[in-house]
Structure 1
Amino acid sequence: MTKTLTAEDFKATFDAFNRHDVDAVMTHFADDCEFTTVAGAEEFGTLIVGAEAIAKAFSGVWAAMPDAEWADHKHFVSGDRAVSEWTFKGTDGEGRRIEAQGVDLFTIRDGKIVKKQAFRKQRPVIEPK
């Protein structure tokens, strides 16, 4: 039987995202994983390949938005696919705030994430007062 991940595994991963704990986040990612971001020049956003590059991208979000969080996250797994729903909240260095709902679609192979596709509602930033 092929090993998969559980909704509890994804909860732990998103809890680690919210702690900004890159090592714990990357626990379930394969070395050859792919991540498509919510924004970028391509129709899918930006493609980031490999666990090291993905960990660097996640750390970059936390550096740019020290209060970044994926609130109210929920997860389900069906075979080798998984979905996570969340509300992203974060403030950039200029005090602009992002609050938008989104989802991640995951592909799992042998108990590891091999693809993470992120989708987020397009919403204007909230300017500081």
Structure 2
Amino acid sequence: MEKTRLALLETLFAAFNAHDAEAVMACFAPGIVFDAAAGPEAVGKRITGLEAVRAAFVGTWTSMPDVQWQVRRHAVFADRAVTEWLFTATAPAGGRIEVEGVDLFGFEGDLIVSKSAFRKDRPLQGV
């Protein structure tokens, strides 16, 4: 099961970097809960369900067309996983974003049911 979940994470991040909403959504369960890195809640911003999560990622790809997540490593532990990455993009108002972060994942069967993002808070570069 861990090899299957590792392959799912590799597929997910390839889809993120291709800005392929359909391929990203295929990795998530219908009730996906995504806790974004920033927002008004203690969890950041909680986004629930395929359509809302799809809209969040499409919004990111639209506002930062060059956004990429360079995976450093994945680690799968039964029904949980951690992915370490480098987030790079050009901010909508200009300036370069380059920060490290991690995602914490939960699985049910062969799909992801939760994703919680954490990333460093760093000033824009080249502003």
| TM-score of Structure 1 vs Structure 2, range by shorter chain | over 0.9
Structure 1's unaligned 5+ residue stretches are: none
More strand by share: 2
Deviation track 1:57-88 (CA, whole Å, cap 9, x = no partner) reads 00000000000000134212111001111000
Runs of 4+ that moved beyond 3 A: 2-5
Letter in 2 for 1:121: K
Aligned partners of 1:11 and 1:73 also within 8 Å: no
**Separation (CA, whole Å) in 2 of partners of 1:18 and 1:73:** 14
Provide the TM-score with structure 2 as the length reference: 0.92
**Separation (CA, whole Å) in 2 of partners of 1:67 and 1:7:** 25
Letter in 2 for 1:93: P
Q: Counterpart in 2 of 1:59?
A: 58
Aligned partners of 1:4 and 1:111 also within 8 Å: no
Provide the TM-score with structure 1 as the length reference: 0.91
Check if 1:70 corresponds to 2:69: yes
Any residues of structure 2 matched to 1:1-129 within 5 Å, and which? 5-128=4-127
Instruction: Quote the sequence identity (%).
Output: 44
Deviation track 1:27-83 (CA, whole Å, cap 9, x = no partner) reads 110111100001001121000000110011000000000000001342121110011
Q: CA RMSD in A?
A: 1.7
Aligned residues: 127
Letter in 1 for 2:62: A
Structure 2's unaligned 5+ residue stretches are: none
